[in-house]
Amino acid sequence: MARLKDCIGLAVVTCVTMRSAPAANLSTFGASYNGPQLQHVDDNARKTDFTWDGAGRTKSAALTGAEQPRASHTTYDTAGRVVESKFGEGDAVSLTREWSKTAFGYGAVNTELPATSTSIEDTHAQSWNLDHDTLGQPIHAGIDGSAFNFDHHFDESGNVVSQLSRAVSVSTRLWGCLIR
């Protein structure tokens, strides 16, 4: 048996129950919506809750019903860019144990693309500096405090024509030597 709900002209499933021959429930599924946005899902013993910001972007998703509740949280700036993304143990409001977090910084030159990225997993942190060309393709990525950097060079069609990894100081010409 399935129940449907009309959500902005679309029929979405809000409840499903699967039963065996003697009418024992094998599986249940339920979903609740606030307009077009999914708020809550019940799938047997697992429950997932979602929160949204005013622009309709997912702020958090939390899964409960397992040994450890799992959650992810995303923060946006006023321009709609992801500023921070993190996940770990917790609920839709907060994390009790953060497993991973990535923060993005946006420079003045290609403001829609991140110029820096800092990732933290448990106690290990790594920061990247990023450069992009006018098409938004990454042309440089380097780890702060490390000799590991790599650069990509593109032709007019957007193909990678060379890449350089400064950690090993080897330049590879890709397309010119492979095609000829």
Tokens representing 69 are: 């509740």
Q: What is the mean pLDDT of residues 110-115?
A: 79
What is the percentage of the chain residues whose pLDDT exceeds 90?
Answer: 26
pLDDT digits (tens, 9 = 90+) for 118-156: 999 988 899 999 888 888 888 888 888 887 888 888 888
Residue 173 has pLDDT above 50, yes or no: no
- Strand pairing partners for 75? 84
What is the percentage of the chain residues whose pLDDT exceeds 70?
Answer: 78
Looking at the chain, which runs of residues are DSSP E strands? 2-7, 10-19, 25-34, 37-43, 46-52, 58-64, 70-76, 82-90, 95-106, 114-121, 124-132, 138-143, 149-154, 160-165, 170-173
pLDDT averaged over the chain?
Answer: 80
Residue 108 has pLDDT above 60, yes or no: yes
Q: Which residues contact 65 (CB under 8 A, 6 or more apart)?
A: 44, 45, 46, 47
Residue 101 has pLDDT above 60, yes or no: yes
At 60, the pLDDT band (50, 70, 90 cuts) reads very high
pLDDT of amino acid 4 = 47
pTM above 0.75, yes or no: no
Selection from 31-35, 83-87, 133-137 with the highest mean pLDDT? 83-87
Contact 85, 74 (CB under 8 A): yes
pLDDT of amino acid 177 = 43
